[in-house]
Structure 1
Amino acid sequence: MPIFVRPSGIVLPGGINPPPVQPLEVPSLSWTDARGRTTLLSDWESGWVLQPGIRGLDLPGYDFYTDASPGIDGNALRGLRAQAREVFLPLAFFDVDRSGFMARKRSFFRTLNPSLGLGTLTLTESDGSFRSIEAYYVSGAEGDFGQDTSGLHWQTVGLTFSCPSPYWLGAAVHQEYAAGATGSFFPVLPVKVRDSQVLGNTTIDNPGTPRASRSGRSTAQPRQRSSRTTQRA
């Protein structure tokens, strides 16, 4: 069996060897099922280790619709759409003994039950910013008990999640606009100059990849909505 590699300065639970991998340098990634049970999948000290080969954290795939015309080179792009996203997570998990490992495994696998409804994958950066996406488990936990994939108190799996929406969602961005304090334009002398206000187009920066839209009450038709959820591919 391959020898486990651990980072320096980390004491593993029970002093045992973890799976035959070392922690992957990725942001913190967690899975929350439809009932609110959360598992941190990148917590080495607690027995969860993400592996190389993660896919589906950046741009989605696209379908393109084109037309070709006789006698004209190439084709014309008529439209496109982002595909449903697929996220692949190679994961190793372990515990100090067989009984602890089996309890951990069964508890985690129960959270993958797609009949419970949509869960949430959340990616958190070191600065505290995060993005999340709704998903459901598709495959990968059927059981592979090869020499390099499992042991008495550890196992590696490649979990595939399907995401109905292709976009990761960041924190909501909310901006409000209101008129200043009212008052008499010509108060009693001495005359005081008040702030003026000009209503017109308002531009709100969208840090996400797809186009954002306005939500909430409004008396105008702004180019961007005044309250929105940031979408990041």
Structure 2
Amino acid sequence: MNSIKYFKNIGFLLFLFGCASTRMTSFKDPDYQKAEFKRILVVANTNDLEDRQKLESKMVEAFSDIGVFAMESFRLFPPTRELSDEEKVDLLLKNDIDAFISISVGESGVNEVYVPQTSSTTKTKGNVNVYGNTATYKEKSTTTYQGGYTLNKPWAEFETQLYDVSNGHMAWIATSFTGGNAYANRNTVINSYCGKTVDQLLEDKLIMKSLQK
């Protein structure tokens, strides 16, 4: 009896080695060269509630990792409520929010990469079974292939804007591209984007790392 087994431990490797990198270009408004924001609201501009919650929560987590206060907009502005602009501004002021970051997801997709088959290995095992005066021999062959499968590499583009709550002016804007490796998934892409965004805001001196989280 022959059985064919493909050499694809992707499920396990996805957990261990899934990673992504983000390229980002940013611009800080000249009027905000000495600005520093301390309490930030995160707003993901998408109608998909799951994507909104995931993006906002991961960005809040990235800010929290460096000790900067951040809040998800779905907590301050529950999607079950219709709030006027005046009510939103009032909630921002009551919670001492001094800036909000707006996230817009651009194009996204998956690049398919075919890994050609490079080699194969066949192992054969035999067993002899004796029943009374009769002996039977059964042989089992297992063939393992290296290569011969397709890997998916996720990617996404983002535009990010930071607004000053006190006057509504845009203080900072950035465009970015995030690409994952063969073992990455959408969560990996989001994590990379959020981490890079916070790092860029630090580099552009619009936020400051706090020793107390």
Q: Same fold (TM over 0.5)?
A: no
Q: Classify the TM-score, shorter chain.
A: under 0.3
Question: Going by fraction, where is helix more abundant, 1 or 2?
Answer: 2
Kindly indicate whether structure 1 or structure 2 has the higher relative contact order, using CA contacts under 8 Å at least 6 residues apart: 2
TM-score by length of 2: 0.22
Question: Going by fraction, where is strand more abundant, 1 or 2?
Answer: 2
TM-score by length of 1: 0.21
